[in-house]
Amino acid sequence: MAKPRLEPTSEFHRLGLGFYQDLDTTGKTDDEVCDIVLDPFTGQERIRLQDFLDGITRDDASDTELLQLR
């Protein structure tokens, strides 16, 4: 049986928008930068985002699938 296509979630797209030039200078620490990027997400959105990120960082996602997450 074929593995289902890896589809980026709306939360993943929104997460990407949170990264901008000089973001690293906006926060004083890595934790502050993470807080800035994750601030727009609420409870269920954070859970869906975490589940998706867990899925793409496991070894079962191929390089080809990861490159298609644009």
The full DSSP string for 13-70 is: HHHHHT--TTHHHHSSSHHHHHHHHHTT--HHHHHHHHHHHHHHHSTTS-HHHHHT--
Would you place residue 44 in the very low, low, confident or very high pLDDT band (cuts 50, 70, 90)? very high
Asked if residue 70 has pLDDT above 90, the reply is no
The 10s digit of each residue's pLDDT in 14-38 is 999 998 899 888 888 999 999 999 9
Whole-number mean pLDDT of the chain? Answer: 86
Q: Where are the domains of the chain?
A: 10-67
Task: Look at residue 43 in the predicted model and tell me its pLDDT.
Answer: 94
Q: How far apart are CA 40 and CA 18, in angstroms?
A: 9
Task: Look at residue 11 in the predicted model and tell me its pLDDT.
Answer: 94
Q: Say if CB 6 and CB 68 are below 8 A apart.
A: yes
Tokens of 67: 């490159």
Query: Is the pTM of the predicted complex or chain greater than 0.75?
Result: no
